[in-house]
Structure 1
Amino acid sequence: MVRRETLRAIRIILLALVVCAALPASRSGASGKLVAALLTCDLPRYRDAHKAFMKSLGQKGYDQSNLEMITQTPNPDPISWANSIRKFNAIGADLIVAYGAPAALAAIKEQSEIPVVFVDVYGPVETGVVHSMSGSGKNVAGVSSRVPLVTLIKTALDLKGGKGLGVLYNPREEGSLVQLREARRIAAQLGLTVTEVNVASAAGIDAALATLFAARVDYIYVSECSACCRSFEKIVHRAGETRIPVLSQMPGAAAKGALIAMEIDPVEQGQDGAEYAARILGGRKAAALPVLTPKRVELIVNMKTARALDLHVPLSVLSAATKVLK
């Protein structure tokens, strides 16, 4: 009888240990919070924003003593994004932080109970992340990365002129699609012909560029799709060989050789995201918070690229630029 009771006690202890091991560490304290972050893909813009997010959240009183952070950067495809959100839901996250439109949309689609803070989403209304910039109408709040594409294209025309605009995009990434639609609309207003090429992966870059070269476009506009971002230097190099300027709105594009870029600041994006995360963790309702818009936006002209393309940059373009790379 004693032996049977001893075995029973051992089984109970082992079961308790298994259950405790399956729970997130932050669940052990009543005041602890579990925040789960999903990056659409492994890009510097998202890493920089997330680093700024963590630093700012710590300054607001959320650190290792009362918060656990789980970060996932899966393969950039819908199944991987959805699987990450399901994991966050299973472990009982208190808040999900989503970087980029695809990650944000996956978070909204796969669950509705956990509040979501989105960061670096181009066109939150147009992508369907929120219903309105004044309030999401959902358990969602966050930061837009949208900047005026029309200014970028008009500045390029002031510099060089031209009639043909090539656009590289990925239809699986909603922010990229929004930029494509904007480019179409602006091009129609300015009398430009648009050549669109779908870049589903980095392996398709060469074929995409060959299509644009054959169309004799005057500019190549690179949308914010992950494949193009990873291959940006290659795009600039190949385009430069045929003397075609590259335009983009991706952070870091000008430093990588784009002739003209209009860039947000990923650090500001992360800081604003942390502000909303702290409010929500403190009890505010995400649906009541308006979408924040970028304050630090720079129109950058790369003079080194202009010289390599044998282009004269008029004073009007230099005056309009907020930064000139020499």
Structure 2
Amino acid sequence: MTRSTTVRTAPSISPPSASKGLSKLKARAGRIIYRFLLSLLFLFVFHLPSASARETLIGVVMPDNTPYYSTMHRAFVRELKRLTPPGQRLKIILQRPFPDPIALSNTARKLIAADVNLIVAYGSSATLAVIQERTDIPLVYAGFYNPEATAVQGRNVTGCGFKVPLTSILRYLRSLKQISTLSVVYSSLEEDSVRQANEFQRLTIEQHIRLTKINIKSRRDIEKLKSTTDDGAFFITGSAIVSSFIGDIIPMLQEKMAPSASIFPDQTADGVTLALYQPPAEQGKEAAKMAAKILLGTPPKNIAPEVLRDTELVVNLRAAKKIGINFPIHLIVEATTVIR
């Protein structure tokens, strides 16, 4: 008799499918990557430098109510924007104080406290006010008369000045009328205005002309013009303070039937009789080129300062007619601009 034997096997346990495990792994990895990218985006938006954080601050000290500097500044801004690399944002903080030493020093301190990247100063007084603060912020100057004659120096300082031949101005005035006295309108508050007055003093001694100096520090000083002689001519220095009162000064000179000359351009019909000046836009452009180099990392000490000497002559026939003067034909021919 045959006995049957039944063999029992243990129930098998099926392992998880490989595809199902892989799907879970991918899902988990996806969540990790998502969280990583989200964190990265958060860091980029909130912690990395933004466009505003990369904004370059430029502080500008420009004596108020001086058209010569205003023209210079407009040219500076246009040229600097042209030279600025794409993506770099510029913010220009323009300060226009009255050009006395206290106001200029306060303005310089204000810009230094604002931690600007660069300071631009127009004219000798503004430039020297910034230098005296002994800041490490780079300084670019423009509109500085003959800076080679004064102590404009420092490892963080460079700029563009100008020079006008004052001997030519005196020659032009003498061709208009016989001059026994030259009155120089200047301001003792501005270093380059004083130098121009002193330079004319040397010239008049050589040519046997009497010189009088009229120091303008405030509006009330304009009254000094009334006591000057009627038999002479006037030279108006490149002073920001004097320039701010030019609208009051010119009528007083015309009452004396006296010709006037300046190194600041005056395109108004009732302005100075003649002007010999260095075009301000050229200085603005040169200053912008220097500023652009500094903002790209070049130290100011490695940028040589410049002195522009090309000039333009403006003769004002209309103003001359008011005081009974006729311009000689050679001056009219020589002039760059003739106001009729």
Instruction: State the TM bucket, normalised to the shorter chain.
Output: 0.7 to 0.9
C-alpha separation in 1, matches of 2:50 and 2:199: 44
- Is the aligned partner of 1:180 residue 2:197? yes
Name the residue aligned to 1:272: 286
Structure 2 contact 162–309 (Cα < 8 Å) conserved: no
- SS in structure 1 at match of 2:249: helix
- What is the CA deviation profile of residues 49-93 of structure 1, one whole-angstrom value per residue up to 9, with x for unaligned ones? 212211111101268842222111123221221122222222222
278 and 175 in structure 1: CA distance in 2 versus 1, 3 angstrom threshold: same
**Normalising by the residue count of structure 1, what TM-score does the alignment of the two structures yield?**
0.82
Name the residue aligned to 1:248: 262
C-alpha separation in 2, matches of 1:94 and 1:82: 18
Structure 1 contact 197–211 (Cα < 8 Å) conserved: no
- What is the CA deviation profile of residues 25-51 of structure 1, one whole-angstrom value per residue up to 9, with x for unaligned ones? 99963x432211111233222222212
109 and 227 in structure 1: CA distance in 2 versus 1, 3 angstrom threshold: closer
C-alpha separation in 2, matches of 1:310 and 1:32: 56
Structure 1 contact 166–220 (Cα < 8 Å) conserved: yes
Name the residue aligned to 1:212: 228
Structure 2 contact 63–122 (Cα < 8 Å) conserved: yes
Greater mean alpha carbon deviation, residues 172-181 or residues 259-268: 259-268
- In structure 2, which of residues 57, 76, 87 is the aligned counterpart of residue 53 of structure 1? 76
- SS in structure 2 at match of 1:267: helix
Greater mean alpha carbon deviation, residues 262-271 or residues 179-188: 262-271
- What is the CA deviation profile of residues 215-254 of structure 1, one whole-angstrom value per residue up to 9, with x for unaligned ones? x441011112233212223222121122111111112266
Name the residue aligned to 1:122: 145
State the shift of 1:269 in Å: 1.9
Which residues of structure 2 form unaligned runs of 5+?
1-48
Name the residue aligned to 1:102: 125
Name the residue aligned to 1:321: 335
Structure 1 contact 37–71 (Cα < 8 Å) conserved: yes
Give the alignment of 1:150-165 within 5 angstroms.
150-165=167-182
- SS in structure 1 at match of 2:326: coil
Structure 1 contact 127–178 (Cα < 8 Å) conserved: no
- What is the CA deviation profile of residues 2-31 of structure 1, one whole-angstrom value per residue up to 9, with x for unaligned ones? xxxxxxxxxxxxxxxxxxxxxxx99963x4
Which residues of structure 1 form unaligned runs of 5+?
1-24, 131-136
Structure 1 contact 124–144 (Cα < 8 Å) conserved: yes
- SS in structure 1 at match of 2:200: helix
Instruction: Report the AA paired with residue 251 of structure 1.
Output: P
- In structure 2, which of residues 210, 217, 223 is the aligned counterpart of residue 193 of structure 1? 210
Name the residue aligned to 2:14: none
C-alpha separation in 1, matches of 2:78 and 2:314: 27
C-alpha separation in 2, matches of 1:187 and 1:298: 23
Instruction: Report the AA paired with residue 83 of structure 2.
Output: K
Name the residue aligned to 1:147: 164
C-alpha separation in 1, matches of 2:267 and 2:231: 20
Percent identity of paired positions between Structure 1 and Structure 2 = 30
Instruction: Report the AA paired with residue 60 of structure 1.
Output: L
217 and 114 in structure 1: CA distance in 2 versus 1, 3 angstrom threshold: farther
Name the residue aligned to 2:301: 287
C-alpha separation in 1, matches of 2:219 and 2:87: 38
C-alpha separation in 2, matches of 1:181 and 1:233: 25
C-alpha separation in 1, matches of 2:339 and 2:267: 12
Greater CA radius of gyration, 1 or 2? 2
- Is the aligned partner of 1:84 residue 2:101? no
- SS in structure 1 at match of 2:331: helix
- SS in structure 2 at match of 1:110: coil
Root mean square deviation, CA, Å: 2.3
C-alpha separation in 2, matches of 1:250 and 1:147: 10
28 and 234 in structure 1: CA distance in 2 versus 1, 3 angstrom threshold: closer
Instruction: Report the AA paired with residue 170 of structure 1.
Output: S
Instruction: Report the AA paired with residue 76 of structure 1.
Output: P
Runs of 4+ with >4 A deviation: 25-28, 62-65, 253-256
Greater mean alpha carbon deviation, residues 228-237 or residues 98-107: 228-237
C-alpha separation in 1, matches of 2:125 and 2:228: 26
C-alpha separation in 1, matches of 2:50 and 2:221: 43
C-alpha separation in 2, matches of 1:190 and 1:120: 29
Instruction: Report the AA paired with residue 100 of structure 1.
Output: G
- What is the CA deviation profile of residues 132-161 of structure 1, one whole-angstrom value per residue up to 9, with x for unaligned ones? xxxxx5321111132111111111112212
